Chains A and B, each alone.
Chain A
Amino acid sequence: MIKVESLEYKYKDGTKALKNVNIDLDKGNIIGIIGSNGSGKSTLFLNILGILRPSKGTIKYNNIPLKYDKKSLRNYRKEVTMVFQDPEKQLFYSRVYDDIAFALRNLNVSEDEIRKKVELILDRVKAMDLKEKPTHFLSYGQKKRVTIGGAMVVDSNVILLDEPTSGLDPAMSEEVMSIIKDLSNEKKLVVSSHDMDFIYEVCDYVYIISKGEILGEGIPEEIFLKSKLLKDAGLDKPWLVKIHEYLGIPLVKNENELLKNKLIKESI
């Protein structure tokens, strides 16, 4: 899978956006990358995608360093793709069906095959009823689901998701979360977010990034206990961790587990 080794990225003016970043995507199935605004998350993603070229260090895919010629990059992006934060910018067609089919048509897949794949994807992102709709009629949440579908359709091995729940209402966040969980059964996902509750529940390994450096890493149940580290990175703790610390309630992964936990029930 993807390994980022001592990556450094400098802007044209010489400021370092990323310093000595090491990331190993084999450490989990859904990897969280969290950090405050301007911490370097998006720059890191663009480096992993091969859009930006690191000043130092390498990105390895299946232990082979990334090559930056056009053909290698095109092949690489069949394996690694990304869902960007703003869905508006990712929709090019005025029909949902065409938009999801976009990448497949670029790969010259036959129309029959496209129809099958798009239907499958529409079903998985719960957007079947939107199929024929013009994209400018969709709500923000619907657009988000369609863009996730547009990335899923290529059948890549890795999907990077930049702020998948930002700007969504609670119900829509919940839906996106379930889509992500469902996806993680077959793909490697990398998620960046400001929503600590979301990261805590969904990810199985987390990197904390601040000012272009990795401050810490670990499984969520451990990393979110490190108060100083989180404070330095300008982040907060998930509510489940807070009630664990303040009220002594056992640490659980999500709300459901909390409600089912016998120990907690008795103590209440």
Chain B
Amino acid sequence: MLLIDKYAYTNRLTNTNPYIKFAIVVIALAMATITTNIYINLSILIIMSMLTTVVAGIPINKYFKLLFIPSTFLVLSILTILISISRVDIYAWRIEIFNYYIGITESALQESILLSTRVFAAMASTFFLGLTTPLNNIIRVLKKMYLSNVLIELLVLIYRFIFIFLKEAMEIHTGQELKFGYSNMKNSLRSTGLLISSLFTRLILRYRDMVVILECKLYDGEFKIGD
């Protein structure tokens, strides 16, 4: 089972009105995107983290671990903004190699700081929604907002099938582990390949069963959502 999903159904804000939570998050996201003030971004980050950990009761260490998962991407993209190469010395901090300067300019530094705080503020906001609101409630909000049925249908099915997919993968993995499939590098590589191929065959078989079952449930080409 997914950790995020478990928290969404068991935290102290699970049953709070999803519309309110959704509105708060949308406002916070808008503010983080529009403003160029790092203090506003930092306060959004702090408020959202507090709401998620202190108010909703998500364990702090788990929360920060989750928050730092996307950080790798952030660091990579910030680095490209931060560092530049030039023949002219325009840098606040630089190194010189063969008449070229590699370094950081004052404005790039400011921009990077603003961007990082903005990203963290936005992430804290979406994490707040994701960690405290069950997907079924989010779907209800999206329906009220007249989001296209096709998209909601996709969301519903993807959400359901992620768990089936993960369960199958985990079962195969455990089976392989018990037979020492991951005891060394060579075995691990082979096992991973086998896992992927057998997952694929299982999915095809499951799909065939699914078609029969859908037939019995009078499915006519559309997963209806209801109110």
Residue ranges of A at the interface with B (Cβ–Cβ < 8 Å)? 46, 49, 51, 73-74, 77-78, 81-82, 84, 86, 88-95, 98, 101-103, 105-107, 111, 114, 132, 134-137, 150-151, 154
Contacts and interface: CB of A to CB of B under 8 A. Distances in A.
Contacts, number: 76
Interface string B206-220: 100110111111111
B170 to A, nearest CB: 13
Nearest to A73: B215
B164 A81 contact: no
A154 B160 contact: no
A10 to B, nearest CB: 19
Contact of A94 (B156, B214, B215): B156
Given A89-B209, A134-B134, A136-B163, A107 B226 contact: no
25 contacts: A46-B212, A49-B216, A51-B212, A51-B216, A74-B220, A84-B213, A88-B164, A89-B213, A95-B136, A98-B156, A98-B225, A101-B226, A102-B219, A103-B218, A106-B218, A111-B226, A111-B227, A134-B9, A134-B134, A134-B135, A134-B136, A135-B160, A136-B163, A137-B1, A151-B216
B136 A114 contact: no
Contacts of A90: 213, 217
A91 B217 CA distance: 11
A92 B157 contact: yes
Closest 5 CB pairs of A and B: A105-B224, A136-B163, A106-B218, A103-B217, A94-B160
Nearest to B222: A106
A94 B218 contact: no
B115 to A, nearest CB: 35
How many residues of B sit at the interface, in one of the four size bands?
20 to 34
Nearest to B15: A132
Interface in B185-227: 206, 209-210, 212-220, 223-227
Contact of A114 (B5, B213, B223, B226): B226
A27 B163 CA distance: 43
Interface string B155-183: 01101100110010000000000000000
Contacts of A102: 217, 219, 224
Interface of B is mostly: helix
Contacts of B5: 134, 136
Contact of A74 (B9, B213, B218, B225): B218
Nearest to B140: A95
Given A51-B216, A106-B218, A151-B216, 11 more contacts: A51-B212, A89-B209, A94-B136, A102-B219, A102-B224, A103-B218, A106-B220, A111-B227, A134-B9, A136-B163, A137-B1
Most buried by A among B206, B213, B220, B227: B213
Contacts of A154: 218
Contacts of A92: 157, 160, 214, 223
B132 to A, nearest CB: 15
Contacts of A94: 135-136, 156, 159-160
Given A111-B227, A137-B9, A77 B216 contact: yes
Nearest to B223: A92
Nearest to A74: B218
B116 to A, nearest CB: 35
Contact of A89 (B135, B206, B227): B206
B136 A132 contact: yes
Contacts of B163: 136
Contacts of B134: 134
B155 to A, nearest CB: 10
Contacts of A49: 215-216
Contacts of A134: 5, 9, 134-136
A98 B226 contact: yes
Contacts of A111: 226-227
Nearest to A160: B216
